[in-house]
Amino acid sequence: QVQLVETGGGLVQPGGSLRLSCAASGNFFSVNAMGWYRQPPGKERDLVAEITKGGSANYADSVKGRFTISRDNAKNTVYLQMDSLKPEDTAVYYCNANVDQWGLINRRWGQGTQVTVSS
């Protein structure tokens, strides 16, 4: 019933920028907390940033000052603005959302989008 569609990944040079988007669609009452995770090759999936419905955000130490998470509740969309990208940011980035389906809270994941930072 619920889908998260990610866009915005790609190949950039170190120091460059990308903006990821993730839109939730389907049958639900509302979307609670949303976030971005990433999984480098051969490593575990880790939290990059998360944001509450009210707009409070938390970031991994590795991206503080460089990444900005935001959301548009009217569009059920979360964004990740990535600036000053580094090679170590290379990973598959996954969107996450906690979807309220009229009292039933389900954690949903996007399909993943590749971000590659290389010169």
Q: pLDDT by residue for the chain (119 residues), tens digit each?
A: 899 999 999 999 999 999 999 999 999 999 999 999 999 999 999 999 999 999 999 999 999 999 999 999 999 999 999 999 999 999 999 999 999 999 999 999 999 999 999 99
What pLDDT shows up at residue 96?
Answer: 98
DSSP label of 109? E
What pLDDT shows up at residue 1?
Answer: 84
Non-local CB neighbours of 105 within 8 Å, separated by 6+ positions: 32, 98, 99
DSSP label of 63? G
Identify the CA nearest to 106 among candidates 91, 92, 96, 117: 96
